[in-house]
Amino acid sequence: MQIYPSNQQDQQAAGVVVVGGGPAGLMAAETLALRGVQVDLYDAMPSVGRKFLMAGKGGMNLTHSEDFVSFMTRYGPRQKWLTPLLRQFDANALRSWAVGLGIETYVGSSGRVFPVDMKAAPLLRAWLHRLRSQGVRFHMRHRWLGWDEQQQLRFDTPTGEISKPAQAVVLALGGGSWARLGSDGAWVSLLRQHKLDVADLQPANCGFDLPWTEFFRSRFAGQPLLTVAARVRGSNLAMRQGQFVITATGVEGSLIYALSSALREQINVSGKAVLELDLLPDIPVDKVLIELQHPRGSRSLSSHLKSRLGLDTLKSTLLHEVLGKSDFDNSSLLAQTIKCLPLNLHAARPIDEAISSAGGLRFEGLDQNLMSIHCPGLFFAGEMLDWEAPTGGYLLTACFATARAAAQGAADWLARA
């Protein structure tokens, strides 16, 4: 399929069309504009950058400061394809780009990189001002519908459907999470109609369901479980320390997100995944056992656990979710459970609740410039591609890097056409 205009239509074509007004689409537009290419950016929403702004409400995490080799491991099996792209636009390059917009950054205690004021809105305002000064034309409330019979782009607009020619196209429509902000995954069926290889979208950086007892749910939903370590039983992932939140339906939060890919894949294969928790990661099991065997006199078990081991009420009650009443008389079993408490997760939360999504257009169908092998002139960027990463700045950095690569590829392809 040829998705760009024929030579007879080139005079009417609008240079390069970027579809999608998230970070990837905006970065693609800027990269093209800097190459002297006329850019028209289309988005279904009334304004651009909505998910970007929402993600920045708790502090705009732009990227991460760890070394490049460690950084790339966060992309799992997709680092093979992403490494050359991120070498061209890494965390340091992203920070320099932000400074060019007048946004200074700093490294937090976790190694994450934030704007000094922690906000996304000032960065987005400065960015849009620069894009407009570079000649990028914005077309809002234009929902992409695919292609017409002449292979022009179709858009649904407030005044009806229109078709637009383009010499090249960069699609940056996001993944499938937070549909209300524009990333609804509707593009999957449109691409599959043209025989493009798209992996099913799945939730990433998401919570998981498990059947709490009504007592536990009613008392602890919404409370954080602090200073624990976790791993996925049967995976090769190392134990990770952190915290997460108890929800009415299960668990969510930063530590869960870091393990979400392995948890999701195990559920896909076997229908469940076992999350193993170390409730006292800084105390070895033999020390836990010694403290448990210390005489407790007239104190209740929960008071004993708190005074001897520092287990709070939430952690103590969590033990009752997996152990029977008689099990608490077995000090060895109790110590082992404190150090390796199993939670049986049976489903990921719906994709629209997830921070990001996995799946998308497979790299095997693209060239090194992220152009479709089967559709010359059609490029892809951001979460539309089949990769995932944990939170911590890795998502945004890869969105920017893939967008720059796709836009450079589109500019080079246009110059050769």
Domain ranges (residues) in the chain: 7-203+354-416, 208-348
pLDDT at 346 over 60: yes
pLDDT at 190 over 90: yes
Q: What is the pLDDT of residue 41?
A: 98
pLDDT at 9 over 80: no
* Angstrom distance (rounded) from CA 172 to CA 192: 16
pLDDT at 5 over 70: no
More confident residue, 56 or 40: 40
- The contacts of residue 372 (CB under 8 Å, 6+ apart) are 196, 361, 365, 366, 378, 379, 380
* Angstrom distance (rounded) from CA 244 to CA 255: 6
The closest alpha carbon to 66, from 127, 7, 112, belongs to 112
Q: Is the pTM of this model over 0.85?
A: yes
Place of tokens 């979400």: 260
- Do residues 8 and 150 make contact, with C-beta atoms less than 8 angstroms apart? no
pLDDT at 395 over 50: yes
Confidence of residue 8 (pLDDT cuts 50, 70, 90): very low
* Angstrom distance (rounded) from CA 89 to CA 84: 9
Q: What is the pLDDT of residue 97?
A: 98
More confident residue, 58 or 402: 402
- The contacts of residue 47 (CB under 8 Å, 6+ apart) are 21, 140
Distance from the first to the final alpha carbon of the chain: 16
45: its two tokens:
């929403």
Q: In 9-78, which ranges are continuous DSSP H helix?
A: 23-34, 50-55, 68-73
* Angstrom distance (rounded) from CA 132 to CA 123: 14
Q: In 167-250, which ranges are continuous DSSP H helix?
A: 187-193, 214-220
86: its two tokens:
């991120």
H/E element, 240: strand 240-246
The closest alpha carbon to 27, from 415, 417, 386, 383, belongs to 383
pLDDT digits (tens, 9 = 90+) for 292-344: 998 888 788 888 889 899 999 999 999 999 999 999 999 999 999 999 999 99
3-state SS assignment for residue 158: coil
Q: What integer is the mean pLDDT of 57-76?
A: 93
Q: What is the pLDDT of residue 231?
A: 97
Q: What integer is the mean pLDDT of 146-172?
A: 96
Place of tokens 């022009």: 152
Place of tokens 């992932």: 237
Q: Rounded mean pLDDT of the chain?
A: 93
Q: What integer is the mean pLDDT of 353-371?
A: 96
Q: In 252-393, which ranges are continuous DSSP H helix?
A: 254-270, 285-292, 301-309, 313-322, 331-339
- Do residues 25 and 403 make contact, with C-beta atoms less than 8 angstroms apart? yes
pLDDT digits (tens, 9 = 90+) for 262-279: 999 999 999 999 999 999
342: its two tokens:
């199993």
Count other C-beta atoms under 10 Å from residue 151's C-beta.
20
- Do residues 167 and 10 make contact, with C-beta atoms less than 8 angstroms apart? yes
Q: What is the pLDDT of residue 407?
A: 98
Place of tokens 């992309």: 75
Beta bridge mates, 348 = 208
Q: What integer is the mean pLDDT of 110-116?
A: 95
May I ask the CATH architecture of the domain 7-203+354-416? 3-Layer(bba) Sandwich (3.50)
Count other C-beta atoms under 10 Å from residue 26's C-beta.
27
- Do residues 402 and 85 make contact, with C-beta atoms less than 8 angstroms apart? yes
Q: What integer is the mean pLDDT of 236-244?
A: 93
Confidence of residue 284 (pLDDT cuts 50, 70, 90): very high
Confidence of residue 55 (pLDDT cuts 50, 70, 90): confident
DSSP 8-class letter at 250: E
Amino acid at 211: P
Q: What integer is the mean pLDDT of 383-404?
A: 97
Q: What is the pLDDT of residue 297?
A: 82
Q: What integer is the mean pLDDT of 231-250?
A: 95
Q: What integer is the mean pLDDT of 208-218?
A: 97
Q: What is the pLDDT of residue 14?
A: 55
* Distance from the Cα of residue 212 to its chain's centroid: 27
- The contacts of residue 5 (CB under 8 Å, 6+ apart) are 12, 13, 151, 152, 165, 166, 167
H/E element, 273: strand 273-278
